[in-house]
Amino acid sequence: MVSAGECPAFTGSNHEAPHQRPCEAFMVRLSECEAFTLLTMKAARSDSSKGRAFPARPPMGVIAMQERVVQPEVTTGIQPALKGIKVLDLTQFEAGPSCTEALAWLGADVVKVEEPHRGEPGRWGFSDRPDADSHYFIYYNLNKRSVTCNLKSDGGKALLRRMIGKADVLIENMAPGTFARLGFDYPRLSALNPRLIFAQVKGFAPESEHANYLSFDMIAQAMGGTMGVNGHPDAPPVRPGPTIGDTGTGMLCAMGIVAALYQRMTTGRGQHIQIAMRDAMLNYCRTPMSRQAMRTDQLPRGGNAVPGTAPGGLYPCAPGGLNDWCYIFASRGNEEHWRRLVKAIGREDLLADPRMVDGATRFEHSEAVDAAITEWTSKRSKHEVTRIIAGAGVPCGAVLTTLELMHDPDLHARGMMQKIEHPVRGAVTVPGWPLRMSDSNVPLKCAPLLGADCEAIYGEWLGCSPEEVRDMRQGKVI
C-alpha cells in the first residue's frame, strides 16, 4: 500500500507515476478505511439482529479517556498530514501568516519569502528589542523557513518565478493590486505552474465597492459585524480582544487551501483562492445574524449575557479583584443544569421558588437569580467556583487572564503552552497547535531568522550551489 506521503498528489510532485491517477494511492487508503467501517457496521447489525444489545455507553470520564486522541511519538516514522507540500509564503503581519502557520503545523514545508535586510514588518514593528524579532512575529511564524528575495529587481522576480514552478501553494496578502503589478497575477502564475494553488487574503472582495480599501484586523471587525455585536446594551461597540479579523480569516483560508489540494488529486490542476477579511467576519456572525433575522429593529448588543437565559453570565468571585470572575451557564434546553447548580450552592429551596420554576421565569426574574448565585460565588475564588460548579455537571469556567494562561500547569502538561529556544531571545513560551491528530504529530519549531534558510531552500528547490547563492546575495537579488 502506498502511503499518503508517497503519493504524488501529496508530495507536490508534478510528475505522476505512469498509469496511475493522481489520487490512486490516497483512494487505496480510503477504500480500506471504508471497508473496515462497513464490516464493523455489518457486525454490529448482526449482533443486534441476534438479540445482543449494543454495549452501554460508559461514564463520562471513561468516554474522555477512550476518546482522547493519542499522538504518536515523532520517532514512529509516521509522516505528517501535509508532508511534501511546498508553500511559498509572501504574507505579513497576521491574516496570511496565521494561515501558513496552520499549514506548517500540519507538516507542510512553508517558506517565507521576505525583503532582504528588513523582512516582513511583523518582525520588527512590534519588537521590544532592536536586535531580536518580536514575540508577535515568533508566535505567527513557528515551523517555517525563511529566504530573502528582492522583488524590486528583475533578478528577484526571475528567482521567484523559478520557485513558483516548484511550489504547490503560493499565498500573499499585500495591498490590493500590488502582487499583480509586480507581474504575478493568476493567469501568469498558472502558466508557470498549472498545479499551483494561489491564495490571496484581502480586506475586501475584489468585486466589492471597497475593493481598494486597506484593511487591518480592527477594520475587518468593524465592517464585518464582529465589533458591532460586541459590547453592552446602550454602550458603544467594543473591539474583541482576540484578533479574529486576522487569524479567523487565516484559518478559513487554510481550510480552502487544504480542500484545493484534495481537489487537485482529482483534477490534476491548481486553482485561485480569494478570501476577504470582511466576509470572513460576517461568516463568524451567523449566530447574531440569525437573531437579527427574527426582528425588524436593531438587535441590541448582548454584553456578557446569553439572550433569553438565566443564569448565563459573569459572576464575581473572591477576593473581588479586577480579574476575579467566573462564567456560569444553565441551558434552557436542559433543566438538569439548574437543578445541579442550586444543589451545588446549597440553595435547593430555589427549586420551589415560583420565580424560578423554568427557563422562562428565571429569565424574567434574572436579577433574583443572579443575586442568589453571586451571594455564593463572591465568597469563593474563581478556581474553587469552577471546581465545584463544573464538577457538578454545570457549564462553568473561571475567567483566566493572559498571564494566568502563560503559566497554566494544565496547558503546559498537554503541550498547549511550550517553551522553545530562539537563537537570539533564548527561551520563549508560545501557544501550541490545538488540533490533535492520531497519525500526524509535528513538533513545534521556532520561527526562522530572516533569510536563515537561503542556502538550504535555494539548494533543495532549485539546485543552487552555495556559490550561486553567494553571487545572488552579492548581486542584491536576495
Query: What's the confidence (pLDDT) of residue 68?
Result: 60
Query: What's the confidence (pLDDT) of residue 69?
Result: 56
Minimal CA–CA distance to 391: which of 314, 328, 312?
A: 328
Minimal CA–CA distance to 173: which of 226, 136, 217, 127?
A: 217
Q: Which three cell numbers stand for residue 120?
A: 516582513
From residue 72, give the alpha-carbon distance in Å to each of 143, 419, 437: 19, 20, 9
Catalytic residue check, 408: no
Per-residue pLDDT of the chain (478 residues; tens, 9 = 90+): 333 333 333 344 443 333 344 343 444 444 444 443 444 444 444 444 444 333 343 444 444 444 565 554 444 567 899 999 999 999 999 999 999 999 999 999 999 999 999 999 999 998 999 999 999 999 999 999 999 999 999 999 999 999 999 999 999 999 999 999 999 999 999 999 999 999 999 999 999 999 999 999 999 999 999 999 999 999 999 999 999 999 999 999 999 999 999 999 999 999 999 999 999 999 999 999 999 999 999 999 999 999 899 999 999 999 999 999 999 999 988 999 999 999 999 999 999 999 999 999 999 999 999 999 999 999 999 999 999 999 999 999 999 999 999 999 999 999 999 999 999 999 999 999 999 999 999 999 999 999 999 999 999 999 999 999 999 999 999 9
Amino acid letter, 305? A
213: left (phi over 0), alpha (psi -120 to 50) or beta: beta
- Kindly report the CATH number that applies to the domain delimited by 312-404: 3.30.1540.10
What is the helix (H) or strand (E) element at residue 111, kind and residue range?
strand 109-114
Q: Give the whole-angstrom CA distance, residue 205 versus residue 179.
A: 16
Q: Give the whole-angstrom CA distance, residue 298 versus residue 276.
A: 25
DSSP secondary structure code for residue 80 in this structure: P
Query: What's the confidence (pLDDT) of residue 70?
Result: 53
CB atoms < 10 A from the CB of 321, how many?
A: 10
CB 437 within 8 A of CB 82: no
Q: In the CATH scheme, what is the homologous superfamily, with its name and number, of domain 86-284+430-474?
A: Crotonobetainyl-coa:carnitine coa-transferase; domain 1 (3.40.50.10540)
Q: Which three cell numbers stand for residue 217?
A: 484586523
Minimal CA–CA distance to 427: which of 140, 145, 144, 132?
A: 132
Question: How would you label 73-90 residue by residue, b for 16+ Cβ within 10 Å and e otherwise?
Answer: eeeeebbbbbbbbbbbbb
Q: Which of 133, 168, 217, 246 is catalytic?
A: 246
End-to-end CA distance of the chain: 42
Query: Which position has the grid cell 448482526?
Result: 46
CB 330 within 8 A of CB 345: no
Distant-in-sequence, close-in-space partners of 61: CB < 8 Å, separation ≥ 6: none
Query: What's the confidence (pLDDT) of residue 12?
Result: 42
Question: What's the sign of the alpha-carbon dihedral 247, 291, 238, 401?
Answer: negative
- CA 226, chain centre distance (Å): 17
What is the helix (H) or strand (E) element at residue 146, kind and residue range?
strand 145-148
Q: Which three cell numbers stand for residue 182?
A: 509586480
Amino acid letter, 198? F
The reported pTM is 0.84
Query: What's the confidence (pLDDT) of residue 77?
Result: 64
Summarised one tens digit per residue, pLDDT across range 52-72 is 333 343 444 444 444 565 554
Cis-peptide, bond into residue 319, ω within 30° of zero: yes
Could you tell me the residue ranges of all domains in the chain? 1-46, 86-284+430-474, 312-404
